[in-house]
């Protein structure tokens, strides 16, 4: 049994970021990742392979509340879900850290304020190359530094959309994008600004994902070891149940156990809960960190919908994710409760429609799917879903992951859709035509589309209502931490990854202090 200073289980937004932060001080770190490196291959950029054949959806079987098996939309690779993500790297709004009243109830407060996380948001934006423009979005929280990279420019149809929104009295802004694009110096830009970004892997490693900007920089330090195809199945504790003593791992067809002074779990919200619940013992009969019975509960994944509108003129945009709108984040003239965020999603391509045929019957015979794709302007609407104790991840007798979820805040989601629908005419789009896009979302089985999963292991000050303390350490175990999106007490309505990254950096500082190490002054900032 090898001894490490820190074992990190999972290499996505939470785990990969933490690895990079802890690597420079020289402590011995073991990274355990159940997946492999995502292959760099021509299929990375083929819509049919990615969206229809689901080439990069990792095989797994979960069970819904009726016991029906389904394939979740999960990506078990070095870098986790960020390998496929859209790299829209938003901060939560400052108000999201307090209690907010929604149509369906209360979105609870976080145990830390926005101000406490702010310096780590700034560092995360630097590490993950976020491009943006401060001061355009009225809901934007205060920031201690400008965006480290200039906003990604709008292409002409999206600029036109921004102008039309502004003319109608709205406040469109340049969306925060994590891509390694240098518009000033295209021959040297790593990103080539292509149409195959959101939901695709990037074969040229120009997306600011947790493999490229978390794990790889960490591995440049000789004190960091990565074990791929290494699935943690259980955490063992000492006889008093006060500390984790071993991480049991399936690897190379066998079982190995690793020991570390500190163990950090970052498997994504569902799998983190599964690992903790599956590590029950005499001292922890309900699973580790679960004295409060909160582990697995409060599962959230955003009330999201991907829609396309039909532009009167063709929309030849290549990289479409440059615009956002938060004017209805906290409500609208017609609806006093928060509605959510509107942003762009990757541009529709005809092969993505295979099997879904958006609005085909309504539009036939004039509109072929190719024509729909040429005219499509694609939006992503996100409404906050509320943490509900009964929405939960569990583990059945056979050790399978079970997921029970009922929708919350459906009315707010409907109102946000209606709002966009009512605006189409003013935006040079065919009024009345707003179609659902399914490929990206897997709406066929709603719980399977768990891209924004969060909230199964929330942190807090009260051990009776939270699993983790404010440092994200298990209330009941001295050396067990969690740093992925499962720690979220509420999810807000913007994309979650930057918040997970920032929180990892915050917990990373705590761990550096605990381990008696020191981060070199400039460590981890230049990519």
Ligand X SMILES: Cc1cc2nc3c(=O)[nH]c(=O)nc-3n(C[C@H](O)[C@H](O)[C@H](O)COP(=O)(O)OP(=O)(O)OC[C@H]3O[C@@H](n4cnc5c(N)ncnc54)[C@H](O)[C@@H]3O)c2cc1C
Residues that bind ligand SF4 (CB under 6 A): 179, 191-194, 196-197, 200, 202, 204, 206-207, 319
Residue 4 binding target from ligand X, ligand SF4, none, CB below 5 to 8 Å by type: none
Taking the complex as a whole, how short is the minimal distance between the CB of residue 69 and ligand X, in angstroms? Answer: 18
Q: State the minimum distance, in angstroms, from the CB of residue 422 to ligand X.
A: 26
Distance of closest approach, residue 84 Cβ to ligand SF4, in angstroms: 10
Helix locations, 139-265, DSSP H = 156-167, 216-219
Q: Which does 500 bind (CB under 5 to 8 A by kind): ligand SF4, ligand X, none?
A: ligand X
Contacts of 17 (CB under 8 A, 6+ apart): 124, 127, 210, 214, 483, 500, 501, 504, 505, 508
Q: Which is nearer to ligand SF4, 322 or 341 (CB)?
A: 322
Q: Binds 451, which of ligand X, ligand SF4, none (CB < 5 to 8 A, cut-off by type)? A: ligand X
Nearest approach in angstroms of CB 266 to ligand SF4 is: 23
Judging by DSSP bridges, how do beta strands 429-436 and 69-70 pair with one another?
Answer: unpaired
List residues binding ligand X (CB under 6 A): 9-15, 32-35, 75-77, 80-82, 84-89, 199, 231-232, 266-268, 271, 275, 451-452, 484-485, 495-498, 500
The 3-state DSSP class for residue 48 equals: helix
Kindly tell me which of 363 and 448 has the beta carbon lying closer to ligand X.
448
Give burial (CB, 10 Å; 0-12/13-18/19+) of 46.
Answer: middle
Residue 179, contacted partner among ligand X, ligand SF4, none, CB below 5-8 A by kind:
ligand SF4
| Smallest distance, ligand X to C-beta of residue 468, A | 14
Binding partner selected for residue 207 from ligand X, ligand SF4, none, CB under the kind-specific 5 to 8 Å limit: ligand SF4
Could you say which of ligand SF4, ligand X, none residue 13 binds, taking C-beta under 5 to 8 angstroms by partner kind? ligand X
Least separation, in Å, of the C-beta of 68 and ligand SF4? 35
Q: Please, which residue, 343 or 415, has the CB nearer to ligand X?
A: 343
Tokens standing for residue 302: 């955003």
Q: Name 132's bridge partners.
A: 150
How many other CB atoms are found less than 10 A from the CB of residue 377?
A: 24
Minimum CB distance to ligand X, residue 249 (Å): 7
Of 9 and 213, CB closest to ligand SF4 = 213
What is the crossing angle of helices 13-22 and 497-514, to 10°? 40
Q: Which of 355, 367, 364 minimizes the C-alpha distance to 311?
A: 367
CB of 91 to ligand X, least distance (A): 10
144: left (phi over 0), alpha (psi -120 to 50) or beta: alpha
The residue of the chain with the least Cβ separation from ligand X equals 12
* 212 or 454: CB nearest ligand SF4: 212
Q: Which helix (H) or strand (E) holds 298?
A: none
CB nearer to ligand X: pick between 299 and 337: 299
Q: What is the CA radius of gyration of the chain?
A: 22
Closest to 375 in 3D by CA, of 303, 441, 411, 427: 427
Q: Are 435 and 359 in contact (CB under 8 A)?
A: yes
The answer, yes or no, to whether the previous bond of 365 is cis (omega within 30 of 0) is yes
């Amino acid at each position: 049994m090898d001894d490490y200073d820190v074992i990190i289980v999972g290499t996505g937004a939470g785990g990969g970021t933490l690895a990079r932060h802890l690597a420079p001080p020289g402590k011995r770190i073991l990274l355990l990742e159940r997946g492999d490196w995502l292959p760099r291959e021509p299929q990375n950029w083929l819509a049919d392979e990615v969206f229809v054949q689901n080439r990069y959806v990792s095989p797994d079987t979960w069970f819904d509340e009726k016991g029906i098996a389904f394939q979740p939309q999960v990506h078990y690779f070095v870098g986790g879900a960020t390998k496929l993500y859209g790299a829209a790297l938003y901060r939560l709004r400052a108000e999201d850290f307090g209690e907010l009243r929604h149509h369906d109830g209360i979105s609870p407060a976080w145990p830390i304020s926005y101000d406490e996380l702010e310096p780590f948001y700034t560092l995360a934006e630097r590490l993950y190359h976020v491009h943006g423009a401060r001061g355009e979005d009225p809901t934007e929280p205060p920031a201690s530094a400008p965006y480290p990279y200039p906003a990604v420019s709008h292409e002409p149809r999206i600029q036109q959309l921004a102008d039309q929104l502004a003319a109608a009295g709205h406040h469109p802004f340049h969306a925060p994008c994590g891509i390694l694009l240098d518009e000033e110096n295209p021959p040297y830009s790593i990103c080539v600004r292509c149409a195959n970004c959101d939901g695709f892997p990037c074969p040229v490693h120009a997306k600011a994902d947790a493999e490229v900007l978390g794990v790889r920089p960490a591995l440049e330090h000789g004190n960091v070891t990565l074990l791929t195809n290494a699935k943690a199945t259980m955490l063992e504790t000492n006889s008093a149940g006060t500390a984790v003593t071993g991480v049991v791992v399936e690897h190379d067809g066998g079982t190995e156990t690793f020991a570390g002074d500190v163990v950090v779990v970052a498997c994504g919200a569902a799998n983190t809960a599964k690992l903790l619940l599956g590590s029950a013992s005499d001292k922890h009969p309900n699973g580790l960190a679960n004295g409060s019975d909160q582990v697995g509960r409060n599962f959230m994944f955003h009330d999201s919908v991907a829609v396309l509108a039909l532009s009167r003129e063709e929309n030849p945009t290549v990289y479409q994710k440059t615009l956002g709108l938060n004017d209805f984040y906290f409500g609208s003239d017609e609806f006093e409760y928060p509605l959510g965020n509107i942003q762009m999603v990757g541009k529709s391509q005809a092969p993505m429609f295979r099997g879904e045929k958006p609005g085909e019957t309504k539009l036939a015979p004039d509109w072929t799917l190719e024509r729909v794709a040429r005219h499509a302007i694609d939006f992503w609407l996100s409404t906050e879903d509320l943490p509900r104790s009964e929405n939960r991840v569990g583990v059945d007798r056979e050790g399978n992951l079970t997921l029970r979820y009922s929708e919350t805040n459906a009315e707010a989601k409907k109102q946000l859709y209606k709002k966009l629908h009512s605006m189409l005419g003013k935006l040079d789009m065919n009024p009345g035509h707003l179609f659902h896009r399914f490929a990206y979302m897997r709406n066929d089985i709603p719980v399977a589309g768990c891209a924004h999963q969060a909230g199964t292991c929330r942190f807090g000050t009260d051990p009776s209502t939270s699993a983790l303390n404010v440092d994200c350490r298990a209330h009941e175990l001295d050396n067990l931490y969690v740093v992925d999106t499962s720690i979220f007490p509420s999810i807000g309505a913007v994309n979650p990854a930057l918040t997970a990254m920032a929180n990892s950096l915050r917990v990373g500082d705590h761990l550096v202090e605990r381990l008696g190490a020191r981060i070199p002054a400039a460590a981890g900032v230049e990519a």
